[in-house]
Amino acid sequence: MNFQEGLIAAFSVVASLLIVLVVVCLGWYLVWKLFLSRFKLVRELLGLKQSTDSPTYAENLSGEGASSKTRNARKVRRD
């Protein structure tokens, strides 16, 4: 194996690792945005603060938490 073949082999290994790293990071970002960021436990484990657009945060600020829950309560049908 000459120098040029060794260089091509090293470049292909580095390029493959870079592609795998990009795909893993992109997958993690998508899973975070679509699913994991909604769980308080995961945010606390990563040391992130609660976002201001979550419904529980908005209810606590407005003080309407109890009244909105009673309005949205499911009615039980008794036949």
CB 65 within 8 A of CB 58: no
Residue 72 belongs to a domain: no
Total structural domains in the chain?
Answer: 1
Residue 28 belongs to a domain: yes
pLDDT (0 to 100) of residue 72? 65
Residue 9 belongs to a domain: no
Residue 11 belongs to a domain: no
pTM equals 0.50
Residue 18 belongs to a domain: no
Domain limits for position 31: 23-52
Closest by CA position to 37, among listed 10, 29, 63:
29
Note the pLDDT tens digit of each residue in 13-71: 999 999 999 999 999 999 988 888 888 887 888 787 765 555 555 445 555 555 555 56
